[in-house]
Structure formats: structure tokens, C-alpha cells
Amino acid sequence: MVKISDKNYKMVVFKNRFFIQPDWLMEILNDYCLKPVDRLIYLCLYQHADVHTGECYPSYSVLKMYTGISNNKSIKQGLDRLVQVGLIEIIKKGYYDKDKKISMSNRYRVRYPYPKNFIMEDIK
């Protein structure tokens, strides 16, 4: 478990679930000159990411549901822009298995742009 030493949090609610979004995160995202779509996608990935590794693997359907973005092209363009600015990394491309008739999602690594005065402590 990780304790985050920052008193400025916002609660963001998604279908009776929530995650803590630090105020500084939005300030830092402003520095990247992202489109609103990109911010929504980043926050969705941020919410789904493992706290230790930063890895997550939401499908396009999950990204669409949580962000309200209606088409795959907009999701893809937003992901591409996030990769371009270095906020995420696609560590394994998804694929479709014709034999099993299943789709596998991309695996992402979310990069956390912590502010300079940020302190993170491990809790045991």
C-alpha cells in the first residue's frame, strides 16, 4: 500500500466507485497542453493503473464507458497523443485471436508526473 503525502485531493466518482485525484495532477496536465479527450483518457488509465507498476489494460470499451468518448478513432488518437508527450507507454499491443474469438487489450504503463515537492512513503 502507498501513502501519498498531499492534502489537496479531489474525489472523482465513476459508477459508485471513486479514486483520489490530487489537485497538482490537473495543474501538471495543463503544462502538457492536452485536449480534453486526452485528459479524460489519461485519468481513466490513471484510475485503472496498478499503484506500484503503473500498468493497466482497459479495453477500448472500458475507456469509452468511463470517458464518454463514443468512437474508437478518438480513443486511439488520444492514446497516441499521450504516448507522444510521454504520459503513457504502450508496453504490449492488443490483438484478436481468431481461433478463440477473443480480443486482448493493449497493456499500458501510466507515467505519474509528480510535482517537485511530492513525497511518497511505503506503508507496511
Asked if the structure places residue 122 within a domain, the reply is: no
Asked if the structure places residue 2 within a domain, the reply is: no
Question: Contact, 77 vs 123, CB < 8 A?
Answer: no
**How many domains is the chain partitioned into structurally?**
1
State pTM to two decimals. Answer: 0.73
Residue 57: how many CB atoms within 10 A of its CB? 17
Q: What is the pLDDT along the chain (124 residues), one digit of tens a residue?
A: 333 444 444 444 445 566 677 777 888 888 888 999 999 999 999 989 988 889 999 999 999 999 999 999 999 999 999 999 999 999 988 666 777 777 778 999 999 876 666 555 554 5
Collapsed DSSP state (helix, strand, coil) of residue 123: coil
Asked if the structure places residue 28 within a domain, the reply is: yes
How many CA within 13 A on the CB side of residue 73? 0
Cell numbers 475507456 correspond to: 63
CATH assignment at residue 108: 1.10.10.10
Cell of 102: 477473443
